[in-house]
Every structure is written in structure tokens, then in C-alpha cells.
Amino acid sequence: MTKLKFAILCSTLGAIVTGVVLCCSGITPVKALSYGVRPQTRSLSVRALTEALPTLPSVPQNTAGATEEPSATVSGGAFFTSAQFEEADYAIHVPAAPAQAEKIVIKQYASSLSVNNSTDLDIDMDQLLEHVPDLDLSGDGPQILIVHTHTSESYNETGQDWYADQDTRTTDNSRNMVRMGEVLSEALTRAGYGVIHCQKRHDEDFNASYANSLKTVEAYLKKYPSIAVVIDLHRDSLIGTGGTKYRPTVTVNGVEMAQVMFLMGVGNEDYPHPHWEENLSLAAWIQREADQTYPGWMRPILVRGLLYNQHLSKGAMLVELGACGNTPAEAETAARCFGEVCAAALDRIREARK
């Protein structure tokens, strides 16, 4: 038998053995599902991706149950948080999947400048975009507040395409939404906006999360009347039948980032929302900016007949930064890019209101 024939025989036997092992273990290879048009290949901005963040001290964990007095350090109209972060090392070691593992599936959700309306309200995107949001961004104090109603939400840290008892919540602020809020805060501050990033944990009692964050937002708005925009930054949970977790991503210029979605409340008969049209108009302006800069990135705006504390401000929004299947690196890239397009949209609004 020649060396070539022997090599081919060994390769064939190896493939058969691998197939038998996968079938016996019940593991199904990850599927890449694509919905809608793939985004155009384009370079991400230097500010969003290639500009290195400074080396900063790590974020300390919040003390469970501690109360937080709204405070900020404002210098020249820009806010710098006292608790800062350092770059994480995302070197990934992927272990073998156990037989009982569930899948994590890469999926791009259909995205466009549109609204997924789950209410009976008639929502016209063209009218929302024609309206200039009623935001006063001219104040000398902080203009943007970032909070986390579900502070402990976290991501798929191993990058693997399966999970088994993987925790999707953590009180470690370097791994949860506080980390993502720091990245977003950095991007917005660099763009010239005054930002307060509240790192308080609101979901120690999950059922009381929104009641807790409502008190926090009210306190900040009272102390800093200059705040025009309130961003409640979350991580979505996309789990299909059979326990499959979805990993919504787009690839732009070879860089993968988590898809982002606005979840906007319009209230209902029992809980009226006087500012829902202003909130939705602001979301539409940002979505348009994102669609022009990174086509296919953001999922359609989801509208529900609830409040999500958005009745507290004309510039309130809930942002779903990726999902539990996404990696921290994908979420961080999305946070930087969202900060970029959000700042650009606010610049346009400020100019239009002159």
C-alpha cells in the first residue's frame, strides 16, 4: 500500500469515527441562520473599534443592598465616572461539550428601519422621523444618564456554541452590564456629551428591579435637571424551543458584533405614558443613524404596551445589547458603536432644534 493510499484511508476512518461520536453524544453542530440582507462590508469607525481605550483601574463590585446617592463629577460639561475599567483578555479556551449540552446558534435577525408593534396603536415611522425630538441638550450639566435595571445580566464568556448550566447573571461588575455601561459611557463622553453612569445593582430582588431603578432615575433627574436622555442598558435573552439560545450577530469588515434592539414602552390604560411618542421618535432617529452607518446591524424597534420607567423622561429608552448567546467582546463592540451612532443622532437633533 502506498503512503498516499494509507493517508487517505486514515483520513476516511477518522471522519467516520468523529461522526459516530457526535451522533452518540447528541451534539448538533452550530447552525448559522441568516435573516434579511447581510450588512454591507464597510470599515467601522476609528473611534468605535481601532482607537485603544486607556488602561484604567478595574470596576469594583457594588455592595449588595447598598443605597446610592446620585453624584457626579462634571468638568467642562463632560462626566467621568469614578469607577473605571480595564481591557479584558478574551483569550478563549473551548472545552468539549457534554452529552446533555444545549445549542447556541448564531443568527442574524431581520433588521431595517421598522417597528415591531405588539400594541393596537397606529405607529408611523415616517412621522416619527419627521418630528424633531423635544430634547434640551444645551445645558452645562450632565445630559445623559445610563442605568441598568437588570444589572447582573451577563454573556457567553467562553464563546462556545453550546451551554450546560452556564450562568447568565453575575454580580461581578467587570462581567455584567456595568462593564458594558462603562464602554458606552466612554464612547458618549468622547463624543462630547456629559454622562452619568449609575452602577447600582437593581435586580438583587428580580421582581422589584423596575421599582428599584425607578427610584434611582427619579433621584438623578431631580438632582441633575440637565439630563435629557436616559438609557436603560440591558442584555436580551433569546431562547427558542428545546432550550436553544440564539447569538444575534453581524459581521462588518471581519469584526463580529452583537445586534442591538430598542424595547420601547407606550403604556396602557392602567399605566398611561405621556411621553411615548417623544421616546419613540428619539429611538427612530438613532435607528436611522445606525441603519445608515452599519446597515443590517440593529433589529427592528420592539414596541410593547408597558412602561419600563420610560414615562419619567422625554428621552428615555431601553436598549437590548445583544443576547445571552453573545460573547463579551461582541457586546463591547456593539456598545462602542451604539455610543457612536447615538451621539451622532443627538448632534443632528441639537442642530435641528437651533
CATH number at residue 327: 3.40.630.40
Residues 28 and 162: beta-carbon distance below 8 Å: no
Residue 208 C-alpha cell reads as: 422589584
Question: What pLDDT shows up at residue 236?
Answer: 85
Residues 146 and 298: beta-carbon distance below 8 Å: no
Q: Provide the 3-class DSSP secondary structure of residue 116.
A: strand
Q: Which domain holds residue 147?
A: 31-352
pLDDT tens for 23-37 read: 333 333 332 222 222
Q: Which segment of 44-58, 233-247, 283-297 scores lowest on mean pLDDT?
A: 44-58
Same domain, 225 and 345: yes
The model's confidence at residue 8, banded by pLDDT at 50, 70 and 90, is very low
Q: What's the mean pLDDT in 150-173?
A: 74
Same domain, 165 and 201: yes
Same domain, 227 and 119: yes
| Measured distance CA(323)–CA(154) in Å, rounded | 9
Max alpha carbon distance in the chain (Å)? 84
Residues 282 and 133: beta-carbon distance below 8 Å: yes
Same domain, 22 and 169: no
Q: Which residue has the cell 451534539?
A: 27
Same domain, 23 and 99: no
Question: What pLDDT shows up at residue 169?
Answer: 80
| Measured distance CA(231)–CA(148) in Å, rounded | 8
Closest CA to 109 of 327, 318, 325: 325
Same domain, 54 and 123: yes
Phi first, then psi, for residue 121 (nearest 5°) are -75, 145
Task: Using CB atoms within 10 Å of the CB of residue 223, give its burial: 0 to 12 exposed, 13 to 18 middle, 19+ buried.
Answer: middle
Residues paired with 245 in a beta bridge = 104, 239
pLDDT tens for 55-107 read: 333 333 333 333 444 433 332 222 222 232 222 222 233 344 444 444 444 44
Same domain, 91 and 191: yes
Q: Model's pTM, two decimal places? A: 0.70
| Measured distance CA(321)–CA(236) in Å, rounded | 7
Same domain, 254 and 345: yes
Same domain, 5 and 67: no
Count how many domains the chain has.
Answer: 2
Q: What's the mean pLDDT in 36-45?
A: 32
Question: What pLDDT shows up at residue 166?
Answer: 60
Checking phi first, is residue 91 left (phi over 0); if not, alpha (psi -120 to 50) or beta?
beta
Question: What pLDDT shows up at residue 159?
Answer: 62
Q: What's the mean pLDDT in 131-149?
A: 94
Residues 189 and 181: beta-carbon distance below 8 Å: no
Residues 323 and 246: beta-carbon distance below 8 Å: yes
32-34 and 162-163: which strand pairing? unpaired
| Measured distance CA(33)–CA(18) in Å, rounded | 24
The model's confidence at residue 165, banded by pLDDT at 50, 70 and 90, is low
Q: What's the mean pLDDT in 220-232?
A: 97
Question: What pLDDT shows up at residue 48?
Answer: 40
| Measured distance CA(68)–CA(145) in Å, rounded | 14
Beta strands of 153-225 (E only): which ranges?
A: 162-163, 195-197
Q: What's the mean pLDDT in 148-161?
A: 82
Higher-pLDDT residue of 156 and 206 is 206
Q: What's the mean pLDDT in 131-152?
A: 94
Question: What pLDDT shows up at residue 246?
Answer: 78
The model's confidence at residue 322, banded by pLDDT at 50, 70 and 90, is very high
| Measured distance CA(64)–CA(204) in Å, rounded | 7
| Measured distance CA(98)–CA(88) in Å, rounded | 27
Same domain, 340 and 278: yes
Higher-pLDDT residue of 44 and 171 is 171
Same domain, 105 and 204: yes
Close Cβ partners of 54 (under 8 Å, ≥ 6 residues apart): none
Question: What pLDDT shows up at residue 155?
Answer: 87
Same domain, 129 and 185: yes
